[in-house]
Structure 1
Amino acid sequence: MDDLDPVSLAVPFFILAIVLEIVLARMGLVRANYEPKDTFTSLAMGLGSSVAGLATAGVIFAASLWVYQHRLFDIPMTAVWAWVLVFLLEDKIYYWFHRLAHERRFWWASHVNHHTSQHYNLSTALRQTWTGGVAGTWLLWLPLSLIGFPPAMVAIQKGISLVYQFWIHTEAVGKMPRWFETVFNTPSHHRVHHARNPRYLDRNYAGILIIWDRMFGTFQPELEGEPCRYGIVKNLATFNPIRVAFHEWAAIGRDLMGARSLRDAALYLFGRPGWSPDGSRETSEQIRARWAAAAGAARPSPATGAETGLTPDVRSESPA
């Protein structure tokens, strides 16, 4: 069981599911938009992520084993309660990792490539990071080994989470039953997460359970009257996997070269994506605030019932 790798076991299913979605979409039976170059980029990013993961896997597992040697408790892998507990704890850690990866630029640089596709289909799930290991987000999972969960157990649960998240990258599935939408992450919830509409920016960070977003104020339901527009705020005009993987790191480098103070350098690196000292760029919060102000101004005046002419769907989005 220690050698179980849910992601490796699921790879054939991933490929078959993508092919099936393409075929069903061509037959007009499901909704799925595929663009050949975009799909190739996603597949290339997935392959590159696997190779990059091998380069850092030894360091990560060695660190986990070292922490486990200093564990506080002995938690058996054979206990059902232990799997339930590691599922809940790992899923909560994933939520905070995912939120950190959106709200702090250093970690956004390693995660942004997952959001660069302007299409949303099963192949998008494979558009994974090449630099996550270097960015060090794996450190967030080390406390699980310190508590006493065997590193192999943590790795298996992380794999289960990734496998689950594959199927939610689709437009072929509408909304699930209400009870399921209330508890679990679904295609509807994750479409919102991948959307660049101001209302939808930086929402629904869940891995498996959407309850964390509901608890911590980051939940946003998908609205019938506001279709998701996918991609990043300033979309890339390229399908080059190298640029997709490293464009934000390069942008950070340019900003650091032009920084006028240590404070500016620190905020360019660890501030919110879109931060700039002169306010010439916008963070997601600023984009959402501008959209909300326009939406409020577009409502009928209580006194006259007149419209201002502004639309609540702000199209002139700025880089973030």
Structure 2
Amino acid sequence: MPDFPNIILYAIPFFILAMLLELYVTAKHQFKSYETKDAFSSIAMGLGNVVLGFASKALVLLVFFWVYDNFRLFTIPVAWWSFLLLFFVDDFSYYWFHRVSHECRLFWASHVVHHSSEHYNLSTALRQTWSGGFYTFIFWLWLPILGFHPAMILLQMSISLLYQFWIHTEAIDKMPKWFEAVFNTPSHHRVHHGSNPIYLDRNHAGILIIWDRLFGTFQPELKHEKVSYGLVTNINTYNPIKIAFLEWTYLFKDAFSGSKTLKSRVYYLLKPPGWKHDGSGKSSDDLRNEWLEKNTKSE
């Protein structure tokens, strides 16, 4: 068992210092990116994620080791080249986990937490799920099958999470063009957090934006379309318990109450957020297409 440190815990002091620096910079330039109650809610969600992470990571390690010991095709050594390969396959896995988390309501129920803030700053990066860690790891199950050691996988997942911290800011406008072309940046990720129809479900990248460009989900930040942060319908609460579980209650109510066919109940779990069995709902694709049609005509 490779002895890798829990780098997320070591990074906590850096998170605090970075948020204080961002607060100073944004205040100096008169940005109103922080709201006290919202920031404390995000920090509370982050702390809850760390605490619950001890249990979820134990479960993930247990499953990964079972798969690794019984089903691996190769034994990939812990070496510099294997970490380089792991960097790409982990980021590929993250892209599809993130994309499905926006396109399937069962996964959206945990991921919506991260999008629930109407502000965009480094504290928003800490607004993490309390439930997702117990089941979203399935998108990485193919890695121990390939032969990557479970400890390597968890380390790379933590590295990816650390990278994504700094892109949650309005204090940085654009990075150099070559960087914007390859990597996820504050500009790309601001789009991802936008509730504007044109920005919905775009830029699912973890570290590399190349996956969005390759699979047709890339959307640049538009100068004439200022990002409006939050959800299509905001939850309007700072209560961490509600932030963590409100969408789960809505999902269970939609899927298991009222008079519906079994097929409709299953669809509430699998279809995108916004889907309704009576056809009255609108998905992000519907909202985006309406926006494009309206704005194309106006031009």
Letter in 2 for 1:194: H
Letter in 2 for 1:192: V
CA distance in 1, matches of 2:188, 2:56: 31
The aligned counterpart of 2:111 is 111
**1:4-63: CA deviation from partner (whole Å, max 9, x where unpaired):** 2221221110111011111222222x7451000000110011011112222222221111
Unaligned runs of 5+ in 1: 300-320
Contact 2:25 2:171 in 1 (8 A): no
In the TM superposition, what is the alpha-carbon distance from 1:152 to its structure 2 partner? 0.7
In the TM superposition, what is the alpha-carbon distance from 1:259 to its structure 2 partner? 4.6
Counting matched residue pairs gives 296
The aligned counterpart of 1:311 is none
Letter in 1 for 2:261: S
Contact 1:22 1:32 in 2 (8 A): no
CA-atom RMSD, angstroms?
Answer: 1.2
Matches within 5 A, 1:15-94: 15-28=16-29, 31=31, 33-70=33-70, 71-77=72-78, 79-94=79-94
The aligned counterpart of 1:293 is 293
Aligned-partner SS, 1:220: coil
CA distance in 1, matches of 2:292, 2:155: 42
**1:179-198: CA deviation from partner (whole Å, max 9, x where unpaired):** 00000000000000000111
The aligned counterpart of 1:271 is 271
CA distance in 2, matches of 1:109, 1:139: 16
CA distance in 2, matches of 1:32, 1:175: 19
Query: Which is further off, 118-127 or 61-70?
Result: 61-70
> Rg bigger for which structure?
1
Contact 2:197 2:287 in 1 (8 A): yes
Letter in 2 for 1:201: L
In the TM superposition, what is the alpha-carbon distance from 1:241 to its structure 2 partner? 1.0
CA distance in 2, matches of 1:197, 1:80: 42
CA distance in 1, matches of 2:123, 2:178: 27
State whether structure 2 residue 192 is matched by structure 1 residue 175.
no
Aligned-partner SS, 1:227: coil
Query: Which is further off, 219-228 or 52-61?
Result: 52-61
Contact 1:32 1:121 in 2 (8 A): no
Letter in 1 for 2:243: V
Sort the Cα spacing of 1:32 and 1:83 in 2 relative to 1 into closer, same or farther, 3 A: farther
In the TM superposition, what is the alpha-carbon distance from 1:232 to its structure 2 partner? 0.5
CA distance in 1, matches of 2:269, 2:275: 10
The aligned counterpart of 1:98 is 98
Contact 1:174 1:187 in 2 (8 A): yes
Sort the Cα spacing of 1:108 and 1:247 in 2 relative to 1 into closer, same or farther, 3 A: same
**1:95-118: CA deviation from partner (whole Å, max 9, x where unpaired):** 000001000000000000100101
Aligned-partner SS, 1:205: coil
CA distance in 2, matches of 1:259, 1:64: 40
Aligned-residue sequence identity (percent) comes to: 54
TM-score (norm 1): 0.90
CA distance in 2, matches of 1:198, 1:189: 15
TM-score (norm 2): 0.96
Aligned-partner SS, 1:282: coil
Contact 1:34 1:121 in 2 (8 A): yes
Letter in 2 for 1:106: L
Aligned-partner SS, 2:164: helix
Contact 1:198 1:291 in 2 (8 A): yes
**1:242-262: CA deviation from partner (whole Å, max 9, x where unpaired):** 111111110011112125101
CA distance in 2, matches of 1:66, 1:277: 39
Aligned-partner SS, 1:180: helix
In the TM superposition, what is the alpha-carbon distance from 1:121 to its structure 2 partner? 0.2
**1:56-105: CA deviation from partner (whole Å, max 9, x where unpaired):** 2222111111111132112111x221111000000000000000100000
Letter in 2 for 1:89: V
Aligned-partner SS, 1:229: coil
Matches within 5 A, 1:1-320: 2-28=3-29, 31=31, 33-70=33-70, 71-77=72-78, 79-134=79-134, 136-256=135-255, 257-299=257-299
CA distance in 2, matches of 1:56, 1:226: 39
CA distance in 1, matches of 2:28, 2:296: 42
In the TM superposition, what is the alpha-carbon distance from 1:161 to its structure 2 partner? 0.3
In the TM superposition, what is the alpha-carbon distance from 1:132 to its structure 2 partner? 0.5
In the TM superposition, what is the alpha-carbon distance from 1:209 to its structure 2 partner? 0.2
In the TM superposition, what is the alpha-carbon distance from 1:277 to its structure 2 partner? 1.6
CA distance in 1, matches of 2:59, 2:154: 14
**1:281-302: CA deviation from partner (whole Å, max 9, x where unpaired):** 2110111111122113323xxx
Query: Which is further off, 44-53 or 189-198?
Result: 44-53
